[in-house]
Every structure is written in structure tokens, then in C-alpha cells.
Amino acid sequence: MIGTLLIVSGPSGSGKTTLCRRAEAAGLTCYSISCTTRPPRPGEQDGIDYHFLTPETFAAKVQAGEFLEYATVHGNSYGTLKADIEKLLLAGKNVVMDIDVQGAASIRACTDDIIRKAYADVYIHVPAAELEARLRGRRTDAEEVIQLRLHNAAMEDARRGEYQFALVSADKESDYTRFTALLSTLGMRTCLA
Ligand code: 5GP
């Protein structure tokens, strides 16, 4: 029995990282740690939040074919290491991946048998006014970064129809309840046997 690979997308401020991390802390899933070239935010740790790489190291991994997918998001490179994901799925672990719409599209197109069987995706949607309030409330980003994220959110939202599931964000508890219900249902798919 292989694990479920659940791709979770949604704009910054949708709470998708919190959902993924909370499910991991509850022992329901493993969290896929992405590589990125963006600098760490205050409190973020290398190897826990991301593998923080230089642009040169990231490019070398692209060349070596180590990424299941990679994309440029908000001007920085992000990618997921293929070997890490496959190892976990084959060990029967559920994996959640917090990635953008481009990354989700490339994994959806992946022909690898294990990835195809394990694959599922959900888009976390937040109404625009609520999203802006959340981004301003977290006080980690400069105004131009907030504007860029709002612009990108509108573009990402336009692609939510590509996803199998959509979770319209309400409050944290309700979001988490629905998220774990989805994970549990996905684990019952006969294709995982
Ligand atoms: P942040 O810099 O705020 O942590 O993440 C910015 C965006 O990059 C988010 O939409 C997040 O889902 C996306 N992201 C994080 N890791 C990956 C990855 O490995 N691949 C792709 N394609 N996007 C990622």
C-alpha cells in the first residue's frame, strides 16, 4: 500500500502551510521540504522550513534532474526533490506538498507510475478582501511584496478549476477539520493498494 501524495496550493495567506504542518504534527502526513533560493524569513530554519540554496546550487540540481518539479514564484526558484517523495510514498507514508499552481501542473503531468497513483490535489481559496487583511495582518512582508502576492493570488485563483478539490477557507479549525477529512478519504482509494 503506497501513501497519498496531496498537493496543496493556494495564495500566500491562505493558511495552506499551517494546514500541512498541523497534519504533520498530528502524525497524519509527512511534509515535503522544498528547496528555495529565497532568503529565510525571521524564525525560518534551513532543513526544516526549506532547504535554502544559492541560485548556483539550485541550478546544479536542475541540471542533474533531481527535481520532481521546480518553478519561479515571486521572483525566486522553488523545487521539490523527487527521491525524497518517492521514498516516503513507497514506505506507505502520506506526503503533503505545499506548492504553487505551476508546480502542481507539472506534477499532474508527471508520468511516473508511483506519483500518478498517489496523486491528489486541493486548492485553498480565500475571498480577495479576506486575503488582503490576512497578508497585512502577518506583518512579515513589505508593501511591494504584499502587492505582488495579491496580484499572484488573483492569477492563481483563476486556475483553481484545475484542481480535484477546493477548500474555501473559513476559520482555522473548520479548515483543518475539512483538510483532515479529505486526507482520510484519499487514503481509502483502491488505486493505492
Ligand atoms: P513562501 O516563499 O511564501 O514560503 O512560498 C511562496 C510560494 O512558493 C507558495 O505559493 C508556495 O506554495 C510555493 N512553493 C513552496 N515550495 C515550492 C516547491 O517546491 N515548488 C513550487 N512549484 N512551489 C513551491
Q: How confident is the chain (193 residues) per 10-residue block, as mean pLDDT?
A: 96 93 96 94 95 98 95 92 94 94 93 95 95 86 89 94 97 97 96 91
- E strands, 38-158, are 51-52, 67-73, 76-81, 95-98, 119-125
Domains of the chain by residue range = 1-30+93-188, 32-92
User: Which residue ranges have their beta carbon within 6 Å of ligand 1?
Assistant: 12, 34, 38, 69, 71, 73-74, 78-80, 98-100, 102-103
pLDDT at 139: 79
Neighbours of 132 (CB within 10 A): 17
Q: Which residues contact 25 (CB under 8 A, 6 or more apart)?
A: none
| Ligand 1 centroid distance, CA of 78 (Å) | 6
Q: How far apart are CA 105 and CA 170, in angstroms?
A: 26
pLDDT at 142: 87
32-92 CATH choice from 3.40.50.10170, 3.40.50.300, 3.30.1180.10, 3.30.63.10: 3.30.63.10
pLDDT at 54: 97
Domain 1-30+93-188 has CATH 1.10.10.60: no
Pocket-testing residue among 46, 48, 99, ligand 1, by greatest number of atoms within 8 A of Cβ: 99
